[in-house]
Structure 1
Amino acid sequence: MPARRLRSASELPRRLTALAVLLALIGGQPARAGMFDDEEARRQIKDLSIQSNERFDTLSKAQIDLVNQIQALREDNARLRGQIETLTYELDSAKKRQQDLYVDVDTRVRKLETPPAASNTGAPPTADGGATAEAAPPQAATSDPAAETREYEAALNLFRANKIKDAAGAFEGFVRAHPDSTLAPNAQYWLGNSHYSLRDCKKAIDAHRVVVAKWPQHPKAPDALINIATCQQEQGDAKGARATLDTVLAKYPDSSAAATARQRLKK
């Protein structure tokens, strides 16, 4: 009994030491775990920072590329706008030159078509030198060719000045006021051209058809048919346009309009 007590007393310090070591081990685990957690957090933060910087660089590069593309598009747009303005000016100039050419040709042809004015010799004398006893029948009131020419030239000058709407009204007023004038076919023809310049193909066709129907032997008639075919083509009536061109060849085979019709029919 005393020997057992002595052995137990001698083992007590050893047991206490083991217990202390065990407690130290148990208490040290949370410290090491906390240290490991801090290092992992710092590593993750560093990784996130690197990823964020990479994404920021990518977005910055994409934004710079987008700005460059927008600037390039602006420059292209400005260049195209300049080209359009240049082409518009050239087209307007060409249209003006074409109008001047048409008017000049019309003036030259009209001078060739205008017959010389007949001189007024009065009543034929009798054998004894006196006037005939029988009075001449009353004549209908004649028009004033000079006034008609001035009125026609005024309408033509409006067309030449590119005042197309005013020119159309002037030509229409002329043919209404002077339906039997030698200038009426020309005025009707230019009325059709005025409507075409105003992009009204329906009215242009109607006006040119009056030229063909009312003055079929006039030099403007085949040209009027060519203009009708042009309007029909622009309206999408290819069949009607070909029929009109065939009419030019059938009715006016020796005209300059017939040469134009042949070229168009080949296309």
Structure 2
Amino acid sequence: MAASRQISRRPRAAAVAAVFVATLAWAGPSYALFEDDEARRAILELRQRVDALMQSSQRAGERSGDEVSQLRRSLLDLQSQIEALRTEQALLRGQNEQLMRDVGELQRRQKDMAQGVDERLRQFEPAKVTVDGREFQADAAEKRDFEAALAVFRSGGFADSVPAFGSFLRQYPQSGYAPSARFWLGNAQYATRDYKEAINNFKALLAAAPDHARAPEAALSIANCQIELKDTRSARKTLEDLIRTYPQSEAATAAKERLARLK
């Protein structure tokens, strides 16, 4: 662009010079036609015109220089805007990447929460259990309470296990654990010498589940309670019924030995 301005100024300067030379050439041969004062005035006027043309050409060149400077400033402003846009784009890209990471973390947490909820729900769903040869459905709380009471009994806390099993039977009267709970409750009462209540619970087991795995032992325990109560006649009848009802059981073998010792 600077070259174009130089080229544009050159024709103007050349034109001015040509006019000046032509004027001088015209003035030279004709110099004799004018008087000295007139010639001098003509030359001064011509020089003034040439100076005016030169100044006009220079101002045009200055204007072109101003345009170039303004264009350069515009280009610098545009470049600054481009750099600002690049910086903003990089910032937005970083924010987008962070947002994607946050979304991924949120999705992972939601998945973990869903799995946790499913696991907690499964804890409340009935599960298949097997106790004393019987298979049935029991929920988590039911299973937990029975096992807690049984743990107290097995640790030797017979007195403490009595209210634990009693509470279980009141809370879960239709539970599949009920016959086993009554058996262990009767044993806990026998251990604490509450023979009458023990007899009631053993009889309740036999009435509700005569085919239960613990039924023969419950019958033998009834006889033992009756012996402790000095009710020999009732004990003898209980042992005879046990031998007749459960002849193949180990309790029946023990019952035969007890009968032989009873007087």
Give TM class, smaller chain: 0.3 to 0.5
TM-score, normalised via structure 1 length = 0.47
Greater relative contact order, per chain length (Cα 8 Å cut-off, separation 6+): 2
Give the greater-gyration-radius structure (CA). 2
